[in-house]
Structure 1
């Protein structure tokens, strides 16, 4: 492309585009876009409003993440005014299939708790036996969330033999600095890493336990 434009809400670690609009305080890129359209007093189609609303609540987990702010609700208000269906959005984002249900139970069964940290390391055969793709399996980190005793949680999913991707989450602790040590990135309380060995997986688990103290 002759020009690259990046619109993002993640903390930038490198310049990608010739034009970059980055708002680290936004709960979602969809939030940024909705607020932009609203500021322009622009009407958007019902389908666009639906897609943006679903992206908004997917990223801020229905307005529950630490980076949810007043503008997040302003964006939602605008998108609903433009025709987004809240009920359908919740069904599309949060209803799960029977296959998902069974795999989520696998993630829970393999979860290990230690010192306010919950981690689960999943192998290819764990999701392949349920005819699930890696892209679906790696998103299941939320299964480990919402536990009173757990301050940090992480899902490690094997992408190819011996190579893992990590999703790190925390209620308040900074997991981004752990991800950065392994060339990962993201938000303070939600970060990811690609291409880890099993040895590195166990190193990161120790770092999470140390961070929880």
Structure 2
């Protein structure tokens, strides 16, 4: 809970902050926002990650201070774990030997921390870090604002995903008043990729196909595609969303080959199609419209299995749509990862 987090911060001195492997805009923006918050309180704090900061986020204030390490190799009063579904997601050795504060906005997150602050109504963890500033009395500085704003625009898809709320815009408005330049931040995040992204995108989109209903799409990203284009993992960010721009497509799966017959799979959907439930069948999770999991088997076996389950999810949503439309507007807001 928030009150427990505030009490811990007030009573302790030395902290580490980490997030999941292959960090993204919300995980890094929120981690660095929390870093500057704790610095403002004169705490001893550092951000540690297993993987390096992707190019798109290297302009964030404090990004150069992120320490890449395979494990938690120093002593801390507590380690803040940002936007992770379970304690293994940061990929850090000996993390479980420390007092862990679990901060996330995914409703499917395991309660693995000594303290667990989960707010599934927040559009991003960045929104929660903003609330933490208010709760601790820390003024939102330009450094905090730039980090939190990056978290917001990446996890809301520049404010057009279903997790965007009135509160999200209120927070963004205050961040802009603090000194954030939206166009400059958006350019750094969304318009600074290398040419290898274009080459990889072409290869991945060439594999796109739909099922017989036309409502489910699937794409492949082979290891050879990434190797031949020289693309980094983060260069594929957002590819899974492209088929959703087709009007009749309601669910998409992108299978990324990470080992022989093993695929890191991103799932996206529209409206009431719940892909989190599909991901949970494979030990994954996420939100209603954005989730992830790992699939095993041959390419064809993995595709057939996930397409079948997505088709069932689409059918289920369409069958309930007419009777749940009013209820869906008042239900708990879910966010996109």
The whole-number CA distance in structure 1 between the counterparts of 2:267 and 2:136 is 36
Residues 123 and 132 of structure 1: CA distance in aligned 2, closer, same or farther (over 3 Å): same
Deviations 1:116-160 (A, max 9, x none): 111101210011111013454365312333221211111110012
Q: Deviations over 1:10-63 (max 9, x none)?
A: 113421111111111111101111233245553233222112111110001011
Distance of 1:39 and 1:14 partners within structure 2:
24
Distance across 2 between alignment mates of 1:197 and 1:91: 39
Larger Rg: 2
Alignment of 1:10-49 (within 5 A): 10-38=106-134, 42-49=138-145
Instruction: State whether structure 2 residue 301 is matched by structure 1 residue 204.
Output: no
Measure the CA separation in 1 of the matches of 2:233 and 2:137.
41
Alpha-carbon distance in 1 for matches of 2:297, 2:180 = 42
Q: Is the Cα–Cα contact under 8 Å of residues 250 and 270 in structure 2 kept in the other structure?
A: yes
1:21-100 mapped onto 2 (5 Å cutoff): 21-38=117-134, 42-95=138-191, 96-100=193-197
Verify the 8 A CA contact 1:169 1:191 in the aligned structure 2: yes
Q: Secondary structure at the match of 1:212?
A: helix
Q: Separation in 2 of the partners of 1:26 and 1:44? A: 18
Say whether residues 1:2 and 2:101 are aligned partners: no
2:277 alignment partner, SS class: helix
CA distance in 2, matches of 1:57, 1:143: 18
Q: For the Cα contact (< 8 Å) 2:254–2:267, is it kept in 1?
A: yes
Alpha-carbon separation, structure 1, partners of 2:169 and 2:189: 18
Distance 1:135 1:181 in 2: 26
**Residue in 2 that maps onto 1:176:** 276
**Residue deviations 1:94-125 (CA, integer Å, cap 9, x gap):** 11432212211222111011221111012100
The root-mean-square deviation of aligned C-alpha atoms, in Å, is: 1.9
* Structure 1, 6-15 or 170-179: larger mean CA deviation: 6-15
After superposing the two structures, state which structure 1 stretch, 98-107 or 35-44, moved more: 35-44
Q: Kindly provide the CA deviation profile for residues 153-182 of structure 1, in whole angstroms up to 9, marking residues without a partner as x.
A: 111100122210100000120011110000
Distance in 2, Cα, partners of 1:119 & 1:63: 25
Residue 207 and residue 195 in structure 1: after superposition, are their counterparts in 2 closer, same or farther (change >3 A)? closer
Select the residue among 206, 210, 221 that pairs with 1:113.
210
Aligned residues: 213
Q: With structure 2 as the length reference, what TM-score do the two structures score?
A: 0.59
Is the 8 Å Cα contact of residues 276 and 286 (structure 2) preserved in structure 1? yes
Structure 2 runs not aligned, ≥5 long = 1-96, 316-337
- Is the Cα–Cα contact under 8 Å of residues 103 and 130 in structure 1 kept in the other structure? yes
- Quote the residue 1:147 is aligned against: 246
